[in-house]
Structure formats: C-alpha cells, structure tokens
C-alpha cells in the first residue's frame, strides 16, 4: 500500500472492498507510521509484528457486514486493558498484565479492528497536559515546543499524525477533549456509562468515561456504534433510552457572554471562538447568551472536593507504600485527598446538586452549549514551571461536564496565525445527546473543511447515517433520485436523505425496455468492473419502508446492495427476465449521466 493511503474509515473500506489493500499490508504501514521519529513518546508499548500479523491473518479475505471495523488500526490509552499486554497507567512500578481485555476493547477487536498498541498518558490519568509521564513528554503534533494536552496524550497524537484511524482515551475532567483541541481532531466524551469502563483502571470511578478520538464525526459515530452498550460487569453502565435528546435544524446554542469569556491572554483564541459562533449561525443556529457562573462553580469542585479522594481510593495502599515511585506532581495532587473527610464529601455533593438544579433550566432555552475546549495552550517549558495552575486553566471549560452528567464533542475550530497552533471548540449537550452532537458536529465540520490532524487527509465531508431507531437504509438508483419523477414516493413518506455514493464495482446498470417513467435496473456480476454505480441512500421508518416496497412493480425488487465503502444497505435489483431487451448503460456510471446523454 502507498504511504499516502489515508486511514479514515471510508478510505480503508474502499481499499479493502476493491482489493487494493489487505489487513497484513495495513499492519506493515501502521507499524511504519508508529515508528515515525517526528512524533516521539506516543507509545508505551506496541504489539509485536507477529502478534499483529496473526490478528490480521485471522480476518476473512474480504470485509463482511459482521465486521464493521474490518482491518481498522486503533490505539489504546494505557489505563485501558488489552489482554496479555501490560497496563502501566503511566507508572512502571505499578504495572500489571491483564488476562482479558477491557469490555470496550474486546468489542472493537470482535468487530475487526486491529490494536496497534498502548499509548502514553499523564500518570494515573491525572492531568490535562501530557507532561506527567516517566515514558517521556508527549508533544503537540504541530509544534514540539508545545504540550499535546492530556491525560490521553499519546492517543490524540496517534490519530492526529495518521498512525491509526481512531484511538481510545479516557475522560474524567477533559482528558478526551483537550488533547483533541490541541491536535486538530475530534474528541467524543460520551455520556457517562454509555461505554463500559470494565477493564479501565479508574481515576474517579463515578465520573470516568472511555472517550473516542477520530479524524471526523463520521468515524467517531461508527466507533461509538460498535463500542456503546450496557455491560453488567460495570456498575456504572447505562443503557441508551428509547428516546434520546435531539437537536433540531433551527437549533439554539448557548454562548458565553463577553464578560465571562476567559482566554488567559490568548487574543487569537478569543477571535476563533467568535468565528465559531458565526459558523454555527451559518448552519442554522441561533446564539443565546447564558450564565456560565454556575458551570464554573461546578468545575471548581472537581479538584477541591471528594473527587480527589476518589483518585486516592483507586490506588489502594500503593500510594502509602510506593508513593515515591509516582510522578511528583501527581503524588502532590492525589496526596491532597487527606484534606477531605466524610463531612467534606457530603458538603461537596450537596453543592453540586444545588448547582445542577440551577443550570437545569438552561436546557429549556438552548439545545446545545458552544464553549472553547480550552482557553489557551502552553509551551512545555512554561507548563513545567507552573504545572498545577496552568493545568487548572486548561480545565476551566471542561471540568464540570461529567460532574453535571453531560455529553460533549470536541471539534477543530481553526488555527492561530502567530504560531500555527489549532484551536478547538466543544459542543455540550444533555446526557444521551451523543449522536445528536455528532450530527451537528458533522454539519459544522463540513462547513469549515480542513484536514485531519497534521495529515493531508481532508475531513470526510458527508452526512452521517441517520441515528433514528427502527429505520432502514435504502439505496435508489434511478427514477427515485432527488431530481427524478418518482422521488415523491420517498419524500411523501418523510424519508430522510442520507448521502450520495456509489455501489461496489460489481454491478451493471441497464435501461429497462418499455417502462414509464423510464427506469433502470441493477444486476450484480461476479467480475470486478471499473467503477460503481451512482446511488442515493435514504432512511425510512419500518412502516414507510413496507408501504414503499409494496408499490414497486416487477421486474424490480428490493435486495441487498454492497456500497463502495464495503457497507451494505437495501436497494433496487432487477429480475433477470426484466433485462430482456434492456440496454447496458454501465459505462455512464449512473442514471443521471445516462439521461443527460439522451438530452444532447
């Protein structure tokens, strides 16, 4: 495979589907990229070549619907277990070797994903900086003088540099969002309990979330679809409700009043936040100022209350017996746990509950909040000179999210002119609004364009699949296309247009004889053709799909179509008898192009 091959999901699915890539070739390239000297201190341990080859060779020769992540490389933050590989949590003296993988890791591997290795982190996931690791300081993918953000530092840089398609992090105070902002990628902080934390070494067990780093909302949603789900092994696991919060097309988004905007002297970050407000307005949003004070008060509780003691609980007697083996800043932070007794614990919980009551009415006025992910960033040397205060600055807009049981999506939002470093925003919604946030994030991402991390790979500019339950995806190829005479049969059933794409290159297209209005027919063939056929994918609920199918006249029928990215949907196929006297129009690549040729 080419060194220029992109690792986003769509590119990999196309390459596997057309036979230009195999999982073994993917492993070779992923390992080569993982050794790139421009990005040091990303990995704590990579899997051996033979281990990865064995996983790759165990996959079937071609992608299947049962393996939605077929041959997709990913990285795992080293506080998340991978069977047979040490989990260090950033502390070599504490390391242990798990017998089984974390639940979320096992799901991803079962879906065909290939784990490349374990990534660097702020020790015991304590920090938003990426500098608190004995395995080396992980640097910004854009400028080695600047911090990468943490604690999921290595995972973010692995995605931003193109080493992997996606990576798992964890997020308690912002660890899945700040590194995304500093490295120009997407960081999904799911609703607490949506992804199992079974097999994750805890920071604050009651707040911890497994997070997802990806290049686009499209990829993040695909990973979420595989990774999410109730897990009885995790006492904090939660099932998705049947009805989740949505975000309408004419949405309202909360913004900081000018007097409450804190950028710590970073004037360009302030300008980029203002630009992001304009960009959300441009895609249909209405900005509404809200009072940030109670959110800031909630954020301040995280490191000045019982949740510090919860970090101390996670270490058991290790802290007392082997504290001298810990990073000094981490040891100092967790050592503060002794300040908090049971009375202080209840006091903090009562304060948090009161703040939750205060902020609840805000959701009657807005559908989503728009905040900076971090108000600024720092050079490594200045961070090391004042590690606790500057780390606290980075959590100013992130620390409250898990405390208030919210979902969050970090997105790229442009670059500073002076130093070329990326700025990021975060969309924050109510619990279980994860997929609605991804839908809105995808629209925003398409509007701003740009690249994934520091790679040359452009953001995937396509709508996300519908997140509605009990809906069926249907590919149409001819008279039901958007500008064609039978499209009303879809729109009258409130079908939702999803995207325009192509079939896999294994279909012939025919113009059927004696049909009104003129219609095409698709025929699957065993040989590989030059290109696929243009189709549109629509989403219908089950009842609408059933009534639609009932109207289809012979010789057409509904079968299963394979698309160019290797996924499968329902779609039109033609009975063999219907091809008698039909004209082969495959060379035109689609019905629109054929009809246009007739008009000339």
Most confident by average pLDDT, 379-393, 519-533, 552-566: 379-393
Output the pTM of the full model. 0.83
Boundary-marking domain end, from 448, 463, 484 = 448
- Considering the domain architecture, whether residues 393 and 505 belong to the same structural domain is answered as no
Q: Is residue 30 part of a domain?
A: yes
Q: Does position 253 have pLDDT exceeding 90, yes or no?
A: yes
Predicted pLDDT of residue 327:
96
Banded pLDDT at 264 (limits 50, 70, 90): very high
Judgement on whether residues 404 and 513 belong to the same structural domain of the protein: no
Q: Do 431 and 477 belong to one domain? A: no
Of 259 and 575, which is predicted with more confidence? Answer: 259
Is 254 part of a structural domain of the chain? Answer: no
Per-residue pLDDT at 598 exceeds 90: no
Confirm whether 259 is domain-assigned. Answer: no
Predicted confidence at residue 3, as pLDDT, reads: 56
Pairing of strands 73-77, 114-119: parallel
> Looking at the domain assignment, is residue 325 inside a domain?
no
In a domain, 348, yes or no: no
Cα gap 212→214, rounded to integer Å: 6
Query: In whole angstroms, what is the distance from residue 123 CA to residue 55 CA?
Result: 29
Q: Are 574 and 568 in contact (CB under 8 A)?
A: no
- The number of beta carbons lying within 10 Å of the beta carbon of residue 310 is 21
CATH code, domain with 582: 3.10.490.10
- The Cα-based distances of 221 to 106, 227, 409, 434 in angstroms read 18, 10, 11, 9
Q: In b/e form, how buried is each residue of 313-349, taking b as 16+ CB within 10 angstroms?
A: ebbeeebeeeeeebbebbbebbeebeebeeeeeeebe
| Mean pLDDT, residues 17-35 | 95
Per-residue pLDDT at 115: 98
| Residues 476 and 417 placed together within one structural domain of the fold | no
* Boundary of a domain, candidates 448, 481, 500: 448
> Which ranges of 121-230 would DSSP assign to H, the alpha helix?
153-160, 178-183, 217-227
Together in a domain, 426 and 549 = no
Which comes out higher in pLDDT, residue 569 or 372?
372
The sign one gets for the Cα dihedral 302, 306, 308, 314 is: negative
What would the pLDDT profile of 219-245 be if each residue is shown by its tens digit? 999 999 899 999 999 999 999 887 888
Cβ atoms of 78 and 47 closer than 8 Å:
no
- The answer to whether residues 61 and 202 belong to one domain is yes
185 and 47, same structural domain?
yes
Q: Is the dihedral of CA 2, 586, 461, 192 positive or negative?
A: negative
Q: Mention every residue, 6+ apart, whose C-beta is less than 8 A from residue 562.
A: 17, 503, 504, 506, 568
The C-alpha atoms of residue 341 and residue 56 are separated, in whole angstroms, by 51
* Residues 426 and 498 grouped into a single domain: no
In a domain, 354, yes or no: no
Residue pair 464/442 in contact by the 8 Å Cβ criterion: yes
Least confident segment among 11-20, 125-134, 181-190: 11-20
What pLDDT was estimated at residue 517?
A: 85
User: How many distinct structural domains can be found in the chain?
Assistant: 2
Whether 227 maps to a domain, the answer reads yes
Six-digit token pair at 247? 């975000």
Indicate the average pLDDT of the chain. Answer: 93
Give the range of the structural domain holding residue 124, as residue numbers without chain letter: 9-249+372-448
Residue 157's DSSP bridge partners are: none
Has residue 165 been placed in a domain?
Answer: yes
* 475 and 437 both lie in a single domain: no
Side-chain half-sphere exposure of 501, counting CA atoms within 13 A: 29
Question: Each residue of 456-513: pLDDT tens digit?
Answer: 887 765 556 555 556 788 999 998 998 889 989 998 998 888 777 888 888 999 999 8
Q: Are residues 44 and 187 in the same domain?
A: yes
* pLDDT at residue number 469: 56
Q: Which residues pair with 85 in a beta bridge?
A: 82
- The closest alpha carbon to 254, from 372, 162, 356, belongs to 372
Same domain, 486 and 444: no
Q: Which residues are catalytic?
A: 77, 151, 175
User: Domain holding 191: CATH number?
Assistant: 3.90.1300.10
| pLDDT confidence of residue 2 | 57
- Same domain (yes/no): 29, 178: yes
What CA–CA distance (Å, rounded) separates 186 from 445? 10
């Amino acid at each position: 495979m080419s060194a220029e091959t992109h690792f986003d999901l769509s590119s990999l699915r196309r390459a596997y589907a057309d036979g230009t890539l195999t999982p073994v070739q993917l492993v070779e390239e992923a390992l080569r990229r993982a050794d790139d000297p421009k990005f040091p201190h990303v990995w704590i341990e990579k899997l051996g070549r033979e281990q990865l080859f064995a996983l790759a060779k165990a996959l079937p020769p071609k992608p299947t619907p049962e393996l939605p992540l077929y041959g997709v490389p990913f990285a795992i933050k080293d506080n998340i277990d991978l069977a047979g590989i040490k989990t260090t949590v950033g502390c070599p003296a504490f390391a242990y070797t798990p017998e089984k993988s974390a639940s979320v890791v096992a799901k991803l591997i079962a879906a065909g994903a290939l784990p490349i290795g374990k990534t660097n982190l702020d020790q015991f996931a304590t920090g938003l900086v990426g500098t608190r690791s004995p395995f080396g300081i992980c640097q910004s993918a854009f400028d080695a003088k600047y911090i990468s953000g943490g604690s999921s530092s290595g995972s973010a840089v692995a995605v931003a540099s193109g080493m992997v398609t996606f990576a798992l992090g964890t997020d308690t105070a912002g660890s899945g969002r700040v590194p995304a902002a500093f490295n120009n990628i997407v960081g999904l902080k799911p609703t607490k309990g949506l992804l199992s934390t079974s097999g994750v070494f805890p920071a604050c067990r009651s707040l911890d979330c497994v997070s997802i780093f990806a290049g686009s909302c499209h990829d993040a949603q695909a990973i979420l679809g595989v990774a999410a789900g109730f897990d009885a092994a995790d006492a904090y696991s939660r099932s998705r409700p049947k009805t989740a919060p949505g975000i309408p097309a004419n949405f309202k988004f909360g913004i900081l009043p000018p007097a409450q905007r804190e950028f710590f002297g970073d004037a360009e970050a302030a300008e980029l936040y203002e630009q992001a407000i304009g960009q959300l307005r441009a895609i249909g949003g209405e900005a509404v100022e809200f009072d940030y004070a109670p959110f800031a008060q909630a954020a301040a509780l995280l490191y000045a209350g019982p949740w510090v003691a919860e970090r101390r609980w996670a270490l058991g007697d290790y802290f007392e017996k082997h504290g001298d083996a810990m990073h000094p800043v981490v040891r100092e932070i967790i050592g503060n746990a002794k300040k908090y007794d049971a009375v202080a614990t209840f006091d903090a919980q009562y304060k948090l509950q009161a703040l939750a009551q205060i902020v609840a009415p805000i959701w009657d006025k807005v559908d989503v909040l728009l905040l900076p992910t971090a108000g600024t960033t720092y050079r490594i040397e200045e961070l090391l000179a004042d590690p606790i205060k500057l780390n606290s600055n980075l959590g100013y807009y992130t620390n409250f999210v898990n405390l208030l049981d919210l979902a969050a999506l970090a997105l790229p939002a442009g670059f500073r002119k002076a130093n070329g470093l990326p700025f990021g925003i975060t969309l924050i919604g109510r619990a279980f609004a994860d997929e609605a946030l991804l839908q809105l994030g995808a629209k925003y991402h398409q509007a701003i364009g740009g690249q994934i991390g520091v790679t040359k790979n452009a953001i995937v500019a396509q709508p996300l699949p519908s997140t509605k339950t009990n809906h069926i995806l249907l590919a149409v190829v001819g008279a039901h296309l958007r500008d064609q005479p039978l499209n009303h049969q879809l729109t009258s059933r409130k079908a939702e247009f999803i995207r325009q794409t192509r079939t896999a290159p294994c279909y012939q297209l025919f113009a059927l004889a004696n049909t009104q209005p003129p219609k095409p027919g698709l025929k699957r063939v065993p040989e590989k053709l030059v290109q696929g056929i243009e189709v549109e994918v629509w989403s219908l609920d089950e009842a609408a799909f059933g009534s639609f199918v009932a109207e289809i006249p012979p010789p057409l029928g509904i079968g299963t179509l394979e698309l160019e990215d290797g996924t499968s949907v329902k779609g039109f196929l033609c009975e063999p008898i219907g091809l008698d006297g039909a004209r082969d129009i495959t060379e035109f690549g689609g019905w629109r192009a054929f009809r246009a040729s007739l008009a000339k």
